[in-house]
Amino acid sequence: MGKLAVIAIGGNSLIKDPKYPRIEDQYQAITETAIHIGDIVESGYNVVITHGNGPQVGFTLRRAEIAGKVAGMPPVPLVDCVADTQGGLGYQIQQVLKNEFRRRGIDKPVVTIVTQVVVDKNDPAFQSPTKPIGSFYSKEEVVKIKAENPDWVLVEDAGRGYRRVVPSPKPEQIIEEKAVLNLINKGFCVITVGGGGIPVIQDQDGFLSGVDAVIDKDLASSLLAARIKADLFIISTAEDKVYLNYGGPNQRGLAKITAAEAEKFMEEGHFGVGSMLPKIKAVLNYLKQGGREAIITDPANLKKALNGEAGTKIIGDGRNLAAIYGN
């Protein structure tokens, strides 16, 4: 088996234009992303694909709510919306990747695993929602939305507008980890922990039950990457690289930084809570657990980033990151 890379695709990066959020538009974005993933496979990497679902799970939940109000359809719990988007996006990615491999003459099976991820039922995130889902709203729209949905929590998201936020507990265990490893070892390209995984809690006897939340896909992906000992952790997002002073007149892109530098910039407040901050935290979590290096870039620059020609590369710096960030 060659080198192993975990590639986390952002849910927002699959909706290139907010005016065109249709399933067909998403499929086209995945098709374009698959070309760049094919380049990585041809360069000698085995790949495991994960993906976000922030916009998609918000759409799915909103459809269910509207159907309930208009036609009296039964409600769909948030956890089931996560499962629905995991299956729907997984199907599209699986099909598109298989087609791309066939186009290139690559004989590699692709499979999607419906993946459950254990969280702590006492995680403080359940009392403090932070995970953005669904569409961006203007200040004017927020007034109407809050009136119609008083139980919603909406926050400003990195200068891009307001979004609904839901609980985002920390991922602790990937239930289907052994299945993922077995499939990788048999030559499969695996799509897993979609949308951060379906959040479940586990009782003292090992029995599982779903819980309404959305796990951060980058943090779940970093846990996966560390557990399966991936050589490279790639976060594919809407931005071509990590920036300091993002959106400001003195915005500066970063080509290569150490974990210590990433930590420093994070503490200085350079990274948005709903955008780059969770990605930096995920990378540090991966490096903490023995990961070698990580890359943050957009889909079009994946191949260039491997060669150091684009994106942001973050490497360990010889420190005991486990002591700094905890186990």
State whether residue 73 is helix, strand or coil.
Answer: coil
Distance, first Cα to last Cα, the chain: 29
Separation CA 188–CA 113 (nearest Å):
11
* Catalytic residue flag (residue 187): no
Element (H, E) at 136: strand 131-137
| Annotated catalytic residue within 12, 46, 53, 301 | 12
* Other residues' Cβ atoms within 10 Å of the Cβ of residue 269: 9
| Annotated catalytic residue within 131, 241, 281, 303 | 131
* Catalytic residue flag (residue 11): yes
Task: Return the residue matching tokens 């930590």.
Answer: 263
- Going from the C-alpha of 303 to that of each of 38, 71, 99, 224, the distances in angstroms are 9, 48, 19, 22
| Annotated catalytic residue within 10, 11, 52, 90 | 11
Instruction: Assess contact for 32 and 75: CB atoms under 8 A.
Output: no
* Catalytic residue flag (residue 12): yes
Rounded (10°) angle between helices 177-185 and 217-227: 60
| Annotated catalytic residue within 195, 241, 279, 313 | 279
| Bridge partner residues of 253 (DSSP) | 243
Q: Based on DSSP, count helices (H) and strands (E) in the chain, helices before strands.
A: 10, 17
| Annotated catalytic residue within 38, 53, 90, 217 | 217
- Going from the C-alpha of 56 to that of each of 194, 276, 287, the distances in angstroms are 11, 19, 29
Torsion-angle region of 267 (φ positive above 0: left; ψ -120 to 50: alpha; else: beta) = alpha
b or e along 93-103 (b: 16 or more beta carbons within 10 Å of the residue's beta carbon)? bbbbbbebbee
Instruction: Assess contact for 132 and 274: CB atoms under 8 A.
Output: yes
Separation CA 277–CA 279 (nearest Å):
5
Comparing CA positions, the residue from 122, 82, 1, 98 lying closest to residue 49 is 98
Instruction: Assess contact for 61 and 159: CB atoms under 8 A.
Output: no
Separation CA 269–CA 245 (nearest Å):
9
* Catalytic (active-site) positions: 11-12, 131, 217, 279
